[in-house]
Amino acid sequence: MFDIKAIRDNPQGFDEGLKRRGIFGEGESQFSSAAILRLDEARRAHVTKLQDAQARRNAASKEIGAAKKAKDDAKAEALMAEVASLKDLLATGEARERELTAEVEALLAVIPNTPLDEVPEGRDETGNVEVRRWGDPALLNFKPKQHFELGEALGLMDFETAAKVSGARFVYLKGALARMERALAQFMLDVHTEEFGYTEVNPPLLVRDHAAYGTANLPKFEEDLFYSPMAPFEALLESVSSKTIDAIDKIQDQSEALTGHRMSLQEALHSFQDGLKKAKSESRERYEEATGLPSRLWLIPTAEVSLTNLVRESILDEDALPLRFTAGTPCFRSEAGSAGRDTRGMIRQHQFTKVELVSVTAPEKSLEEHERMTKCAETILQRLGLPYRTMLLCSGDMGFASQKTYDIEVWLPGQNAYREISSCSVCGDFQARRMGARYRPKGAKDVRFVHTLNGSGLAVGRTLIAVMENYQQEDGSIVIPEPLRPYMSARERIAKA
């Protein structure tokens, strides 16, 4: 979320940042500073009008007393009528102010963060820059298999049954592979907590709208998320919908009366659906405000959502910073827009396990923390002996909330390619503004927004894939890396029984 004042102060800089993102930020673009500030100016002008009306109402109220004291009944009655009129004007005007404020906020909510100066220009992954690499890919004297070939041959990876039970992009891990995935998560958490000072957290896997909004997963990426509807609210909606849908013919009658044209059934249904969508959103807000209960809960796409929201609506002391949190959790993504990509195996799943890293820092420390977080993630790969390269993402390939991102890509012999296994991002105050997360600098009265960072430390399923492919043997067995053996009863190899 952007500070509207910052856009007012430097509209050109804002537009240039969006252009680097690949978003047209000039002229009549809906995301241009001109378009945003035009909407903001309308809101501010309306607020000034309301303030003038309120000032006049206050003055008129005082004049009523003076008129009555002077026994000028006609003037008193006129003033009372004016006050009543102003009261109605203010009520209507305040509702319009809320609408204008919501319009500004809704527009700002779908605009991505702007890149830092050191981020390279580029439109997609071809513009990313390699920063460093570690380890040399092993020269195998046999044709390496992909992880799903290995797992299925061992009888420990079952995609077919998972598809029957849950659909595509799910898997059953069994036996030693299930244990290795658990071992990897434990190993990662132990390193991050015992060596790097992260606090382990067991967070909620279901979150409310405002939590997903805080980390910028909503509203832009609603289609990428899974949610669980809450029964009381859904029952209420169903009741209203079942009564309202019977009125389709009334929509047709009204359109004919107003325009002389009778809507087709399809047109009337579209009109009804559009109205229902808007009403549903408004109903959610009213329901939650009235009951204090959520109308739905979102399954977390990563623990970033739960962990970052630990500081929402809070004012921290500077001495408490930095805060560092880690969690190993199941994660859930719809993978909207990924049709046809990585359809075989575990690379792109609807449900997967990840160890997340989140840091909360003072602004002047966030870039230093970003380098530190990336090193923490790289250390896991080094301990496991997995070759990788670290890429600085270009301006057009970064995540929505990011100012700067490093992707760590691990070598997969079965694919003969490097694939992403971690993404570490610094977000500046972008998420903090959405969450209301602030801190008070030493000796200062004013408060400032914190900076937030997040990264994978690592994606556990993809690390399992990397171990399987890099430690595979010609006979199809898999050597267990030494750091994992204490978590697997000193076992050294996974082979077919």
Q: How many distinct structural domains can be found in the chain? A: 3
d(CA 42, CA 83): 25
φ, ψ for residue 488, nearest 5 deg: -130, 40
Structure confidence at residue 291 as a pLDDT band (50, 70, 90): confident
**Among 41-50, 61-70, 113-122, 388-397, which stretch is predicted with the lowest mean pLDDT?**
61-70
Same domain, 255 and 322: no
Q: Identify the residue whose tokens are 């537009």.
A: 15
201: left (phi over 0), alpha (psi -120 to 50) or beta: beta
- Least confident range of 73-87, 135-149, 244-258, 453-467: 244-258
Q: What are phi and psi of 14, to 5 degrees?
A: -60, -50
Q: Hey, CA dihedral for 383, 384, 390, 393, is it positive or negative?
A: negative
Q: How far apart are the C-alpha atoms of 343 and 353, rounded to whole Å?
A: 18
Please indicate, yes or no, whether residues 386 and 489 belong to a single structural domain of this protein. yes
Residue 290, pLDDT score: 79
Question: In this model, does residue 258 exceed pLDDT 90?
Answer: no
Are residues 21 and 92 located together in one domain of the fold? Answer: yes
- For residue 155, the 8-state DSSP code is T
Residues 471 and 369 in one domain: yes
Residue 273 — very low, low, confident or very high, per pLDDT cuts 50/70/90? low
Query: Are 235 and 214 members of one domain?
Result: no
The percentage of the chain sitting over the pLDDT mark of 90, rounded to a whole number, equals 71
Joined together, the tokens standing for residue 384 give 């496991």
Q: What percent of the chain has pLDDT over 70?
A: 92
SS3 letters for 99-134? HHHHHHHHHHHCCCCCCCCCCCCCCCHHHCEEEEEE
Residues 315 and 217 in one domain: yes
Q: Are residues 215 and 260 in the same domain?
A: no
165 against 342, higher pLDDT: 165
Instruction: Give the pLDDT band of residue 238 (cuts 50, 70, 90).
Output: low
Rounded average pLDDT over 41-59: 92
How many Å apart are CA 327 and CA 56, to the nearest integer? 56
Q: Are strands 388-392 and 227-229 parallel, antiparallel or unpaired?
A: unpaired
Instruction: Indicate if 204 and 73 belong to the same structural domain.
Output: no
Residue 243 has pLDDT above 60, yes or no: no
| Per-residue buried b or exposed e for 466-478, using 16+ beta carbons within 10 Å of the residue's own CB | bbbbbbbeeeebb
Q: Is residue 117 part of a domain?
A: no
In a domain, 16, yes or no: yes
Q: What pLDDT score does 138 carry?
A: 87
Give residue 137's pLDDT band: very low, low, confident or very high (50, 70, 90).
very high
Tell whether the model's pLDDT for residue 241 goes beyond 60. no
- Same domain assignment for residues 239 and 340: no
- Cis omega before residue 481 (within 30°)? no
Question: How many Cβ atoms are within 10 Å of 46's Cβ, its own excluded?
Answer: 17
Domain C-terminal end among 54, 80, 109: 109
The pTM for the full model equals 0.87
Q: What is the mean pLDDT of residues 408-417?
A: 97
- What per-residue confidence (pLDDT) applies to 322? 98
CB-neighbour burial class of residue 165 (10 A; exposed 0-12, middle 13-18, buried 19+): exposed
Do 301 and 220 contact (CB within 8 A), yes or no? no
Q: Is residue 210 part of a domain?
A: yes
DSSP 431-465: HHHHHTEEEE-TT-SS-EE-EEEEEEEEEHHHHHH
Residue 226 belongs to a domain: no
Return the SS3 of 49: helix
Among 109, 134, 165, give the residue marking a domain's end. 109
Q: State the average pLDDT over residues 376-402.
A: 97
Could you tell me if residue 132 is inside a domain? yes
Instruction: Examine the pLDDT at 312 and tell me if it is beyond 90.
Output: yes
Domain membership flag for residue 118:
no
In the structure encoding, which two tokens stand for residue 169, read together?
């992009």
Domain carrying residue 85:
4-109
pLDDT at 249: 66
Judgement on whether residues 207 and 235 belong to the same structural domain of the protein: no
Find the helix or strand (DSSP H, E) in which 365 lies. Answer: none
What pairs with residue 331 in β-bridges? 352
Structure confidence by residue, pLDDT tens digits, 426-462: 999 999 999 999 999 998 989 999 999 999 999 999 9
56 with 95, same domain: the answer is yes
Same domain, 66 and 98: yes
Domain end call among 268, 293, 318: 293
What tens digit of pLDDT does each residue of 150-184 get? Answer: 999 999 999 999 999 999 999 999 999 999 999 99
Look at residue 195 and tell me whether its pLDDT is greater than 80: yes
Sign of CA dihedral 124, 129, 134, 138: positive
Chain segment 96-129, per-residue pLDDT in tens: 998 899 899 999 999 999 999 999 999 999 999 9
